[in-house]
């Protein structure tokens, strides 16, 4: 069995309660950090661990902490991003509902490291039942002296607040999240200033993903170096992968970074292979916004090397032949899946979720959705394929936040790798619009 | 259907809850309470009428327009009356890969309404939503806080029957 950092105790009965979590060694990392370490030493361990932002961007967490401004007399904030909304991603949902104290413990350690006395967990509003689980866990931790005033007699105070969202993918973008937390529409802010200088209430703020913060207990107990020894190269530690689509065993799996894509997909420890009687056609490895890959680029890179579940290996070949680890939303497509229909579906998502602030995204996402809708419904023209590529290029890089890129990449990559399928829809509209019709042309399956 | 409230006021228990929420934030930052307080309001009235939004604005000492712009931005807030049970089904890619479109088609047929509509008896409102972060357990819909997962036509029939009792 591979190393488990986050999910080792996740199936212990009652692990959602303080007592059981504590019996499994819970909150020892808080004791160690607060009683024996300075905040700077905690930050140093985070840096040594090399743990990278697990929300999708993959930016080193310790380095992000290092950017936090510390002006005299100004409060600092830690905000946990639990707005998990990227299609294909449901790991934070799983982690928070199953083992809420792991996040609470990580929040206490991280808040101590950053000198924050009031920290927030911003959870997407649809997960109201998870919010109640977290609030209960916070009450328990408070009753045991791990939260509130003078934690463990150290003089350190921390209040932890769970904030519900209202239903908006854009609030996963950190500055939109902060706007939302201030009671406003989730419009991303122009940067600079970055949140590390002016974030929540114009105060220095760090925003980190649930999974990133949940790693902190293990890092403090075992040391940043021990964490960095797990994984491969700059992809240190483990990663939660949300596996969905046409596989035998959908679910959330913790992998050691560097396991091969083939092992993750086919072994019984993880996905259990493509559903019986079917073949792999395509994969979205890191949530809906990362480029989709065709079968022949999934198990091996363009150079013929084994493709690994790591930041570097998945992006090997750039966007021409690679993709990204992203949030770890692993969506598997077999030969029954229509790439055009799925691309239209994802486009509709980004159009729906665009905040409307930047014209290229507001107009471009809607335009792409319309063009894809007409191709999927038998009214496309040959010109449309290049038109889509053109629109995607004009959105990419031209918006305040990365939602524009996230909308452009799935369309551009689908056409890059599955152009024949788009052309088939346009040249065979009658056949292509039959229920369940899927292109079965010259396509390599695995 | 929930009637437009004539006299808008939180129940005493909910008012306590709202005060507790407002007290979470630093002084002068009570606007941060807006999203959570709107959830409490929707829990009480089922949807957010302009009277309810004006009332919330008063409680938070902000302008009514600050409430309207937020309530209309986020998809969870209902700006029109809804049925007793709002079924919010996920229409995004992974749920569709698992047969979501067929299951939702069956659901619409069974209730005789399309997305955005309420059944004549006022029992069910159908609402199409984007990804609910439950992709491995799709197709999925949500009714209030409850998730219904790995949906099939048979499961849908059972759920609707149970809720119709």
pLDDT digits (tens, 9 = 90+) for A261-316: 999 999 999 999 999 999 999 999 999 999 999 999 999 999 999 999 999 999 99
Between strands A280-284 and A293-294, the pairing is antiparallel
Q: Give the distance from residue B8's alpha carbon to the nearest chain A alpha carbon, in angstroms.
A: 22
User: Within 13 Å, how many C-alpha atoms sit on residue B63's CB side?
Assistant: 4
Helices (H) then strands (E): counts for chain A: 19, 11
**Nearest chain B Cα to A178, which residue?**
B32
Cβ–Cβ gap A163/B32 under 8 Å = yes
Interface test with chain B among A87, A253, A275, by most B beta carbons within 10 Å: A87
Q: Tell me the CA end-to-end span of chain A in Å, nearest whole number.
A: 26
What does the block give as tokens for B111? 């209730």
**Nearest chain B Cα to A127, which residue?**
B145
Report the alpha-carbon distance of residue A406 to residue A389 in Å, rounded: 14
Any idea where the domains of chain A sit in the sequence? 18-229, 237-334, 339-432
The arithmetic mean of pLDDT across residues B102-127, rounded, is 97
- A78 burial via Cβ count (<10 Å: 0-12, 13-18, 19+): buried
The predicted structure's pLDDT at residue B1: 47
Torsions phi, psi of A162, nearest 5?
-100, 125
Interface test with chain A among B70, B131, B137, by most A beta carbons within 10 Å: B131
Cβ–Cβ gap B96/A86 under 8 Å = no
**Nearest chain B Cα to A94, which residue?**
B134
Cβ–Cβ gap A288/B75 under 8 Å = no
DSSP letter for each residue of A259-303:
-BHHHHHHSTTTT-SBPTT--EEEEE-SSTTSPPEEGGGTSB-TT
What are the chain A neighbours of B74 within 8 Å (beta carbons)? 125, 165-168, 186
The predicted structure's pLDDT at residue A1: 59
Q: Give the distance from residue B113's alpha carbon to the nearest chain A alpha carbon, in angstroms.
A: 22
The predicted structure's pLDDT at residue A376: 97
Architecture of domain A237-334: Roll (3.10)
What ranges make up the beta strands (E) of B56-139?
Answer: 85-90, 124-129
B21 has a chain A CB within 8 A of its CB = no
Fold of A339-432: de novo design (two linked rop proteins) (1.20.1440)
Q: Which H or E element spans position A329?
A: strand A329-334
Helices (H) then strands (E): counts for chain B: 7, 4
Q: Give the distance from residue A75's alpha carbon to the nearest chain B alpha carbon, in angstroms.
A: 10
The predicted structure's pLDDT at residue A440: 86
Interface test with chain A among B27, B35, B105, by most A beta carbons within 10 Å: B35
What are the chain B neighbours of A185 within 8 Å (beta carbons)? 69-70, 73
ipTM of the complex: 0.95
The predicted structure's pLDDT at residue A358: 97
What are the chain A neighbours of B104 within 8 Å (beta carbons)? none
Torsions phi, psi of A340, nearest 5?
-65, -45
Report the alpha-carbon distance of residue B131 to residue A289 in Å, rounded: 13
Cβ–Cβ gap A128/B39 under 8 Å = yes
Report the alpha-carbon distance of residue A140 to residue A132 in Å, rounded: 12
- What own/partner pairs with CB < 8 Å and gap ≥ 24 does A142-146 have? A143/A18, A144/A18, A144/A22, A144/A27, A146/A27, A146/A30, A146/A104, A146/A105, A146/A108
- B8 burial via Cβ count (<10 Å: 0-12, 13-18, 19+): middle
β-sheet with B146-148: strand ranges across: B124-129, B85-90, B141-143, B146-148
Q: Give the distance from residue A126's alpha carbon to the nearest chain B alpha carbon, in angstroms.
A: 7
β-sheet with A280-284: strand ranges across: A251-256, A238-245, A329-334, A280-284, A293-294
Please give the CATH number for the structural domain made up of A18-229: 3.40.50.11540
Collect the ranges in chain A with pLDDT lower than 50. none
Q: How many CB atoms lie within 10 A of CB B63?
A: 11
B35 has a chain A CB within 8 A of its CB = yes
DSSP letter for each residue of A84-151:
--STT--HHHHHHHH-HHHHHHHHHHHHHHHT-SEEEEEE-GGGHHHHHHHHHHHHHHHHTTSSBSSG
pLDDT digits (tens, 9 = 90+) for A122-146: 999 999 999 999 999 999 999 999 9
Q: Give the distance from residue A157's alpha carbon to the nearest chain B alpha carbon, in angstroms.
A: 15
B128 has a chain A CB within 8 A of its CB = no
Asked whether the predicted pLDDT for residue B4 surpasses 60, the reply is: no
Q: Give the distance from residue B118's alpha carbon to the nearest chain A alpha carbon, in angstroms.
A: 21
Cβ–Cβ gap A250/B31 under 8 Å = no
**Nearest chain B Cα to A351, which residue?**
B130
């Amino acid at each position: 069995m591979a190393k488990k950092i986050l999910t080792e105790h996740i199936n212990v009965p009652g692990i959602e309660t303080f007592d059981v979590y504590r019996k499994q060694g819970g909150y020892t990392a808080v004791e160690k950090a607060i009683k024996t370490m300075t905040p700077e030493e905690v930050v140093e361990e985070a840096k040594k661990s090399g743990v990278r932002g697990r929300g999708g961007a993959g930016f080193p967490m310790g380095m992000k902490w290092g950017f936090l401004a510390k002006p005299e007399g100004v409060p600092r904030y830690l905000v946990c991003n639990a707005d998990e909304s990227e299609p294909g991603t449901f790991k934070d949902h799983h982690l928070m509902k199953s083992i809420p104290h792991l996040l609470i413990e990580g929040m206490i350690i991280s808040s101590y490291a950053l000198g924050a006395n009031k920290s927030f967990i911003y959870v997407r509003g649809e997960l109201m039942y998870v919010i109640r689980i977290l609030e209960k866990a916070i009450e328990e931790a408070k009753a045991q002296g791990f939260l509130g005033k003078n934690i463990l007699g150290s003089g350190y105070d921390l209040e932890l607040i769970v904030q519900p969202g209202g239903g908006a993918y854009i609030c996963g973008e950190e500055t939109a999240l902060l706007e939302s937390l201030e009671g406003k529409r989730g419009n991303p802010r122009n940067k600079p200033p970055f949140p590390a200088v002016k974030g929540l209430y114009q105060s220095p703020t760090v925003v980190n993903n649930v999974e990133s913060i949940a790693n902190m207990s293990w890092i403090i107990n075992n040391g940043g170096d021990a964490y960095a020894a797990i994984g491969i190269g700059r992809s240190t530690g483990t990663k939660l992968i949300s596996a969905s689509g046409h596989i035998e065993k959908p679910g959330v799996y913790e992998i050691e970074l560097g396991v091969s894509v083939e092992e993750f997909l086919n072994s019984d420890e993880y996905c259990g292979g493509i559903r019986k009687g079917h073949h792999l056609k395509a994969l979205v490895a890191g949530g809906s916004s990362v480029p989709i890959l065709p079968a022949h680029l999934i198990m091996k890179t363009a150079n013929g090397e084994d493709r690994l579940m790591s930041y570097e290996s998945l992006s090997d070949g750039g966007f021409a032949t690679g993709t990204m680890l992203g949030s770890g939303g692993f969506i598997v497509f077999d030969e029954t899946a229509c790439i055009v229909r799925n691309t239209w579906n994802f486009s509709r998502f980004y159009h729906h979720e665009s905040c409307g602030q930047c014209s290229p995204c507001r107009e471009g996402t809607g335009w792409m959705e319309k063009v894809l809708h007409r191709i999927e419904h038998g009214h496309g023209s040959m010109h449309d394929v290049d038109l889509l590529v053109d629109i995607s290029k004009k959105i990419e890089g031209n918006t305040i936040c990365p939602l524009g890129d996230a909308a452009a990449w799935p369309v551009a990559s689908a056409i890059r790798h599955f152009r024949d399928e788009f052309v088939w829809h346009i040249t065979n509209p009658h056949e292509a619009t039959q229920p369940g019709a899927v292109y079965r042309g010259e396509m390599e399956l695995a | 259907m929930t009637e437009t409230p004539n006299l808008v006021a939180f129940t005493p228990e909910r008012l306590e809850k709202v005060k507790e929420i407002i007290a979470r934030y630093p002084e002068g930052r009570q606007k941060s309470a807006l999203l959570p307080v709107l959830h409490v309001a929707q829990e009480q009235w089922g949807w957010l009428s302009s009277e309810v939004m004006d009332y919330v604005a008063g409680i938070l000492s902000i302008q009514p327009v600050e409430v309207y712009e937020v309530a209309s931005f986020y998809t969870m807030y209902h700006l029109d009356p809804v049925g007793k049970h709002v079924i919010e089904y996920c229409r995004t890619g992974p749920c569709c890969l698992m047969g979501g479109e067929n299951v939702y088609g069956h659901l619409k047929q069974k209730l005789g309404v399309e997305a955005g509509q309420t059944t004549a008896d006022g029992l069910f409102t159908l609402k199409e939503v984007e990804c609910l972060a439950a992709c491995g357990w799709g197709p999925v819909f949500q009714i209030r806080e409850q998730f219904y997962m790995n949906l099939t036509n048979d499961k849908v029939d059972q759920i609707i029957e149970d809720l119709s009792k």
